[in-house]
Every structure is written in structure tokens, then in C-alpha cells.
Amino acid sequence: MKPTHLFEAEQLVAGYDNKTVIQEVSLTIPSNKISVIIGANASGKSTLLKTLARLIKPTSGKINLDGKSITKMPPKQLARVLGLLPQSPIVPEGISVADLVGRGRFPHQSMLSGWTKKDYEAVAEAMRIMDITKLANQNIDELSGGQRQRVWIAMALAQQTDILFLDEPTTFLDITYQVEILDMLTDLNRKKGTTIVMVLHDINLSARYADNIFAIHNGKLVAEGEPSKVITSSLVKDVFGLDCIVVEDPISGSPSVVPIGRHHVNNAYTP
């Protein structure tokens, strides 16, 4: 099991150039759990994730890992604890699956040491977890979208971090692959205790797979906690501006949002 970490943000303000996107967000990531950041488009959810994962330097506020500021930690040392899969990574032309997954070992290698047994084992394990061992020698260009995403996650797994940030890992995937990826991430969390923090677009999948929800609206943290407590019709109205009812998902028992639009609405729910 992965060790417990205290990862907290305090009065975080961040953005791009002169535009402030994240406004005074304070939060603590529950260790060894799955947290999902939800919010409407342009709410700042992705910016928050990027700031927590040190891609964006905060304008003010603190991000501490086990009491130490992450900006003051040596980047390689931090990269052995904190992994990140951004939204649109670049695929070098002609790269093989094994080469790409292997690049996740960078923070564990020194400038002069070559590949050690540990590196090979970590890569083999990551590929096994994501079920891509058979694809090792294939080119990424030849893979389907779902397989590709599994390769990227395997790269992040090869990094063997205790905490893993993922920015919309299921976007552009068919529903089948979305569920597959989320199941695999849940396996990872349950078996290894990896703390997972991700941005997801789909509120129902978020409610089902998250242990903890952070709801972002206009750059502010408006709600956090277990999905069953956080996902309510009033929160969905506040955060997404959507009228809805929340029912119990018959499969998982988690809350499930059923939107109320302008058409196809029974009289009982007409606002």
C-alpha cells in the first residue's frame, strides 16, 4: 500500500497572465482516495488541477506536500511522489508503446545511470496493470483511442507515484472505454492505495467513481465531500446552471443527475 500523504492547498490564487482564474481555494486532498474535480466549462477546474500539479505557478497561496512547499522541492524528487497526466500530451512520430511507457521512469534515473532492473520491472508492471503488455512493440499511431489512453496512463504508472493527477482522462473516448479507464483507475486505487485526483466531464461517472468531490464554480470551491452529500439538485443548479433531479443510480447507489430540459419533460417536472 502507498504511504499516506498530506497534500493541501491554502488560499490558492492562480491564472494566466493577468487573468485570475482560481480565487482563494483552500483544500486538502484525501489521501489514498479518488477525488474528482467537477465544474462547468471555463469554471477553472482544469486550471485548479494544473496548479495543484505544479504546471501553473500560483500568484499567491501555498501548496504543501507533507508540510513542505512543492515549489521548494527538487522537481525530480517531487516527481517520484506526484505524477501527472495532462489533457493533450504529444505523441512523437513513430514511438513504440514500450518507449513511451518507459519515459515515465525519468524521475527515477540519474543523469548517468542507465536502465536498472527496477526500471524494467516498473514498466512491465505498469503495462500489465493497463493490459497493454502485448502491444509493447507496436507504434502508438496504430492504436485505438482507448488503447492509447491506457498507454498514457501506463506511462504515468511507470512513474510509480503515490499521488496521480489526471486531467480529463476519459475525454474523447466512447462510453465503453470511459468506464474501462475509470475501472482500471479504481483498481489502482483499491489495490495500491494510489491517491487519484482527476477532472471529469461526466457528472454521473464522477458521482459513481469518486470518493470525494470538489465542485468548482467561477474559480471558487463551492462544495466538497462525498458524492452522496455533495451532488444535489441545488448544487447542480448553482454550478452548472442546470435544472435537474437527482436520483439513486440503480447500479452503484451513487447519486445520478437527470437533467430537465425544455422539451420531453413530463408535466410533473415542468418548472
Partner 1 sequence: MKNSSTVSKMHEVNPHIPKNFMVVLVIGFVLLIASVFLSLSLGSRMVGLQEVMDGLFRQDIDTYEANVVRKRISRTVFSLFCGAALGVSGALMQAVTRNPIADPSILGVNMGASLFVVCGMAFLNISSANQYIWLALAGAAITAVFVFGIGSLGRSGATPIKLVLAGAATTAALSSLVVAIMIPRSHVMDQFRFWQVGSVGSATWDGITTFIPFLLIGIVIAILSAPALNALALGDAIATGLGVRIGILRLVAALGAVLLCGAATALAGPIGFVGLLSTHVMRLVLGPDLRFVIPMSAISGAVILTISDVSGRLIGSPGELEVGVVTAFIGAPLLIILAMRSKVSSL
3-class DSSP assignment, residue 54: coil
Positions in 193-212 near partner 1 (CB under 8 A) = none
In degrees, to the nearest 5, what angle opens at C-alpha 232 toward C-alphas 226 and 238?
A: 110
Among 15, 61, 86, 146, binds partner 1 (CB under 8 A): 86
Give the Cα separation of 45 and 64 in Å (integer). 19
Closest C-alpha to 240, from 47, 12, 45, 22: 45
Closest C-alpha to 239, from 260, 261, 222, 226: 222
Query: DSSP strand E in the chain: where?
Result: 7-16, 19-29, 34-39, 60-65, 68-69, 82-85, 163-167, 195-199, 212-217, 220-225, 244-248, 255-259
* Adjacent-strand bridge partners of 146: none
Candidate ranges 20-28, 101-109, 169-177, 200-208; the one touching partner 1 (CB under 8 A): 101-109
> Smallest gap, in angstroms, from Cβ of residue 134 to partner 1?
11
Candidate ranges 34-42, 117-125, 202-210, 218-226; the one touching partner 1 (CB under 8 A): 117-125
- The one-letter code for the residue type at 108 is H
Size of the site for partner 1 (CB under 8 A): 53
Positions in 27-66 near partner 1 (CB under 8 A) = 50, 53-55
> Smallest gap, in angstroms, from Cβ of residue 223 to partner 1?
28
> Smallest gap, in angstroms, from Cβ of residue 80 to partner 1?
8
Q: Does 98 bind partner 1 (CB under 8 A)?
A: yes
Q: By rule CB under 8 A, what string of x and - marks binding of each residue 131-160 to partner 1?
A: --x--xx-----------------xx--x-
> Smallest gap, in angstroms, from Cβ of residue 112 to partner 1?
8
Closest C-alpha to 222, from 48, 19, 64: 48
Give the Cα separation of 52 and 74 in Å (integer). 16
Among 34, 65, 85, 196, binds partner 1 (CB under 8 A): 85
Q: Does 128 bind partner 1 (CB under 8 A)?
A: yes
CA–chain centroid gap for 80, Å, is 17
Binding site for partner 1 (CB under 8 A): 16-17, 50, 53-55, 74-80, 82-86, 88-100, 102-104, 106-107, 109, 111-112, 115, 120-121, 123-125, 128, 133, 136-137, 155-156, 159, 165
